[in-house]
Amino acid sequence: MCFRDALNDSDKFTRENAMKTKKWMGLAALLLVVPVISGCWLLAAGGAGAYGGYKMKEEGYTVQNPVKKEAPAATDK
Concatenate the DSSP letters of all residues of the chain into one string.
--HHHH--HHHHHHHHHHHHHHHHHHHHHHHHHHHHHHHHHHHHHHHHHHHHHHHHHHTTB--SSS--BPPPPGGG-
Which of the four pLDDT bands, split at 50, 70 and 90, describes residue 47?
A: very high
Q: Is the pLDDT of residue 5 over 60?
A: no
Tell me, what's the pLDDT at 4?
A: 55
